[in-house]
Amino acid sequence: PAATLEAITHWYGPRRVGFLGRGVPTEPVLKDITLSFSSHSVNAILGLNGAGKSTLLKILSGVMAPKAGAVMLEDRPIKPGHRSVKKAIGLAIGTRSRLIWDLPPIETFRLHRAIYAIDAGNFGRTMAEVEEIFAIRDFIFRPTRSLSLGQRVRVEVALAMIHRPRLLLLDECSIGLDLMAKEAYHAAISHIAKDWGTCVVQATNDLADIRAGIAKIAILAHNRIVFDGSFRDLTTVPGFSRTATVECDEAEVGPLVARLSAHGIAAEPDRNGALRIRADGLEDLNACVLDCVRESAPSVRSIRFGTE
């Protein structure tokens, strides 16, 4: 494994009771977390706000030390202050930008070149690669304030890759991206994992980020890991559903519902008139819905697939 967490437990300092009262220990944010991630893979840590995702990434990046447990990058411990290990880690946080508002992003790239002591040849080659992978070449010389949210996110992730880390950590980096920008974002990090051999770990609470190409999904709830497995494993968990929303002419809704029912798929119109489809444990829902639409609803206006 490229990165390993062994029995990680963490809590933040004691809570004071009264003005000068005694400290009362707080509840653990993370409790007995054990995970491993392999190289050449994209992985996801999924959980609601406050589940401990960001804390787990900070520990994995060496920004903070856990109260108990060990963190390893390959065969070396990750601890605050270990600069040689930190050079092998890249971190991007969606809610905290490292770009300078009035300067173009290229100046921040040059600053990181100095911080990581990257020689001119390696810097030039890596810049050329990330400019192509993240499609940022057209705007890295414009002031940051003139960039859209999607453009800034792509620059932030590219910046985390400028020293070619073996472990890339992404904390809620896809927040606010539209459909096209999100597809480009996922294609870029998949390319990084496959071609650079990087282990990518992204923390998210957006189910749209959970897709079949992800090697491992870990779900955090109640301070613990409640699921650790592949996307295929997740589809077999009770309560997991694949969904589809179809917009078509009203006259075609009935025939489409009948066709879907023949395949054992439940469907019903929602309040906006679109057809809402859900299926538990059906791996080929997308293909089945498309086939039914071709046969029964030729005037379809849109189809959206998702998960619940």
**DSSP letters of 122-167?**
HHHHHHHHHHHHTT-TTTTTS-GGGS-HHHHHHHHHHHHTTT--SE
Tell me the β-bridge partners of 3.
Answer: 37, 73
Q: Give me the mean pLDDT over the 154-172 stretch.
A: 93
Residue 247 dihedral angles phi and psi, to the nearest 5° = -110, 120
21 pLDDT more than 60: no
- The pLDDT mean for the chain works out to 86
In sequence order, which ranges of 198-300 are alpha helices (DSSP H)? Answer: 231-234, 250-262, 285-296
Higher pLDDT, 74 or 211: 74
Where does the pLDDT of residue 301 fall: very low under 50, low under 70, confident under 90, or very high at 90 and above? confident
Question: Which DSSP state fits 176?
Answer: T
pLDDT for 191-225, tens place per residue?
Answer: 999 999 999 999 988 777 777 788 999 999 988 99
Where does the pLDDT of residue 170 fall: very low under 50, low under 70, confident under 90, or very high at 90 and above? very high
Integer-rounded Cα radius of gyration of the chain: 23
pTM for this predicted structure = 0.78
CA-CA distance, 205 to 308, in Å (whole number)? Answer: 12
* Residue 16: per-residue pLDDT: 60
